[in-house]
Amino acid sequence: MGRHRRPNYDCNRPKKIVYPVKENVVHCCSQETIKHVHPSHTTVVNHHLIKNKHVFPHTTSEKDTVESVDVAGNSFNGPGGMGSHHHHQHEHGHGKCHCKNKHKW
């Protein structure tokens, strides 16, 4: 037959009530330095201009020409026949005679 159990009451045991855990928060802070590098560069450009100046030197020279004619007299017996003449042309540059028959001037 069925047995009835009786509730288990322990009269000598103290009763307790447990409350929810109270949480304490402790904040620990630390500090750190992070370098943020922003590089830059400067280029110096040196400009050099060359001006080419063109000059045109010019010289001038002088040239003299001299002509001489040898005329024979009225003699019919002279060299070359009647009234013959001999023609010489001389060029002179810078005071010097450059002809074949040099003359003293």
Neighbours of 78 (CB within 10 A): 12
CA 51 to chain CA mean position, Å: 13
Q: Report pLDDT for 100.
A: 57
Q: What is the pLDDT of residue 46?
A: 98
DSSP H or E run through 65? strand 63-71
Q: Is the pLDDT of residue 34 over 60?
A: yes
pLDDT of residue 38: 98
User: In terms of pLDDT, which residue wins out, 74 or 102?
Assistant: 74
Indicate if the pLDDT at residue 43 is higher than 60. Answer: yes
Q: 3-7, 28-32, 45-49: which range is least confident on average?
A: 3-7
- Put simply, whether the predicted model's pTM sits higher than 0.85 gets the answer no
